[in-house]
Amino acid sequence: MNLLLKSKALHLKSEIKITGSKSETNRLLLLQALYPNISLKNTSNSDDSEVMSSVLSTINQPANVNQIIDIHHAGTAMRFLTAYFASQENRIVTLTGSSRMKERPIKILVEALKQLGAKIDYLENDGFPPIKITGQKLTNNKVSLPANVSSQYISALLLIAPKLQNGLELTLIGEITSVPYINMTLNLLQEIGVETSFNGNIIIVKTKTQNPKPKTLTVESDWSSASYFYSVLALSEVGSQITLSSYKQNSLQGDSALVEIYRKFGVETHFDENKMTLVKQPNFKLDPSDSEQAKQTLNLDLNNTPDIAQTIVVTCFGLGIGCHLTGLHTLKIKESDRLEALQTELSKLGASISVTDDSLTLMSSTNIISNQTIATYNDHRMAMALAPLALKTNINIENAEVVSKSYPDFWNDLKQLGFEIPDL
């Protein structure tokens, strides 16, 4: 489905409820499978979370019978379920996915699990899905892996750790990537009574064999999804505002860094109980109407928050300012190679943009080419990150339904704000 977004200036005063964080939901779904006394509220309605929930609720094959599980595009599910099934004795599963999933590396996680005693075989290409997992009792408790890999590899190990016979001592080698996501996992473990520590490059998770007392955990709404509304506000008139729920000022999610980052674009965030209101202020310090200001470049290290890189780049482009973003090495193995995808698609709109393996540089420019068709590469974040540019120009989004991977209600919520969007 292609979706034509038409340019329209909005003066916003709207309220939107965003469902639970995909990152928190998927972690808690796995913990719920390990500790059934846990109940969950405000879970994500994303495709990825639906896949996780479906797989964990329909594991019904007898022991020692190979069950084939297709997780489609769900990268988090591939990583978390690899660790989960590796620790389930006498359970045999084959994990497979989309053609893009078969290009996304999993060797680092597999090798770490093998250090713990797992039995995992590659069925096509070495280091990539599909994989056959023969569940084992994992008795080893020490493992090490590079610290600059996707935090999902690390979290996958941490989530199964309390059910391992001897717990886990995980040593991270080198500079650690995406620390907030690691801390999120550890905080969720602590919420159900698991003892953890994170000192230097060593993480320790103690064994917890017994179920916790029955407990209901409420998932905070997704900050990555909120990023697109920060971008909308940054590109809107002064005085525009959007209220989003349900959010915490002291969030576990790394993407809550949006509060400080978007202050640079004149978007202020005000918290009131479980809601936050974004307001476009007149004191925007990188005003492209000022010839001197327009030459400025926003410099950010997004090592801890790479998922909001696309949103920030598009915001800068829409405002006519430059940016230099670093810490982006994990973006090359996401649903698309997001650095190459951004370069290709924003260039269609007139952007001057260059990328390396871990950085992106956008030159300031006030020229935006209208009526271009944007490819999404089966990547939900490409579709959503580019959408706010409809405030500046008409654009056509290919494969617009891809947003269901993390935010199925996205287009309807934009329509609620006043965007001209055809019936879907």
Catalytic residue numbers read 307
Residue 12 · residue 417 · CB < 8 Å: yes
Q: Which residue has the tokens 């709404």?
A: 221
Residue 307 · residue 256 · CB < 8 Å: no
Closest alpha carbon to 338 in 355, 324, 322: 355
CB proximity list for 135: less than 8 A, separation 6 or greater: 85, 86, 87, 88, 89, 90, 91, 92, 93
Whole-number Å distance between alpha carbons of 358 and 55: 34
Residue 30 · residue 238 · CB < 8 Å: no
Burial of residue 52, with CB atoms counted within 10 A of its CB: 0-12 exposed, 13-18 middle, 19 or more buried: buried
| Strand positions, DSSP E, 230-310 | 241-245, 267-272, 275-280, 297-301
Strands 241-245 and 275-280: antiparallel
Largest CA distance in the chain: 69
What is the CB neighbour count within 10 angstroms for residue 357? 9
Distances (CA, A) of 403 to 66, 120, 220, 353: 32, 32, 20, 25
